[in-house]
A and B are shown apart, each in its own frame.
Chain A
Amino acid sequence: DTAVSQTPKYLVTQMGNDKSIKCEQNLGHDTMYWYKQDSKKFLKIMFSYNNKELIINETVPNRFSPKSPDKAHLNLHINSLELGDSAVYFCASSQDTGTGANVLTFGAGSRLTVL
């Protein structure tokens, strides 16, 4: 059983389209995250939810909208896709937030290519 699963794994689309990436975790964790990893391999936090409530919302264009229907799911919807949105998007979860030993479990990543 995959602990953190995200779909789709690959996504190729045209500029201006709207797309969604789904994420589910079966670890019973309270906190979920979306990260973006660009071509330079930096991992940048985008959003974090704790028990369905938004707790981190970094400077991300408002074309990106996360939705957490329950604490096991965190989806990412992207409107009006731009070339610069091309990246690998990782979903992750952790037991809690606000503690030091907060180990993240990552999904396999969703590679988004905008043409």
Chain B
Amino acid sequence: GQNIDQPTEMTATEGAIVQINCTYQTSGFNGLFWYQQHAGEAPTFLSYNVLDGLEEKGRFSSFLSRSKGYSYLLLKELQMKDSASYLCAAMDSNYQLIWGAGTKLIIKP
């Protein structure tokens, strides 16, 4: 079956760096997405990886290893506003998204 695994919850300190991991198993693969969802709000797009390697976008970076079925989202210089859930989603061979349950990130001062 198709599956996405990511930690349920993580805690980090303001100003620090945190890495949120995601492993996926899909029938075929057409890319890996990360979305951010603040409590009570809609998910918003953060990043898309389809090739192996690291994509950097400001304080946020996303990494993909297709051979390992693995991705991570790296958040640097954490701010209180980064407290949110981070959703990993993999696109299968039919271009359908398989979603993880999200990682709730708690930032402490």
The number of chain B residues with a CB under 8 A from chain A is 22
**Chain B residues within an 8 Å CB radius of A107:** 42
Q: Which of B44-52, B65-73, B74-82 contacts A (4 or more CB under 8 A)?
A: B44-52
**Chain A residues within an 8 Å CB radius of B45:** 103-105
* Max count, chain B CB within 10 A of own CB: residue among A97, A101, A107: A101
**Chain B residues within an 8 Å CB radius of A104:** 35, 43, 45, 97
How many Å from the CB of B103 to the closest CB on chain A?
Answer: 10
Chain A binding site: helix, strand, loop or mixed by DSSP?
A: loop
Asked if B44 and A106 sit within 8 Å, CB to CB, the answer is: yes
**B24-52, CB < 8 A from A:** 30-31, 33, 35, 40-45, 48, 50
Is the C-beta of A26 less than 8 angstroms from some C-beta in chain B? no
A45 to B43, CA, bound (A): 14
Is the C-beta of B17 less than 8 angstroms from some C-beta in chain A? no
**Chain B residues within an 8 Å CB radius of A83:** none
Is the C-beta of A109 less than 8 angstroms from some C-beta in chain B? yes
The number of chain A residues with a CB under 8 A from chain B is 21
Q: Which of A36-44, A63-71, A73-81 contacts B (4 or more CB under 8 A)?
A: A36-44
Asked if A106 and B42 sit within 8 Å, CB to CB, the answer is: yes
**Chain A residues within an 8 Å CB radius of B33:** 103
Identify which of B31, B41, B96 contacts A45 (C-beta below 8 A): B96
Is the C-beta of A99 less than 8 angstroms from some C-beta in chain B? yes
Is the C-beta of A34 less than 8 angstroms from some C-beta in chain B? no
Is the C-beta of A102 less than 8 angstroms from some C-beta in chain B? yes
Residues of A within 8 A of B (CB): 40-45, 56, 90, 97-109
Q: Give 15 new A-B contacts, CB below 8 A, not counting A45-B97, A97-B95, A107-B42.
A: A40-B101, A41-B101, A41-B102, A42-B101, A44-B99, A90-B42, A99-B95, A100-B31, A100-B50, A101-B48, A101-B50, A104-B35, A104-B43, A104-B97, A109-B40
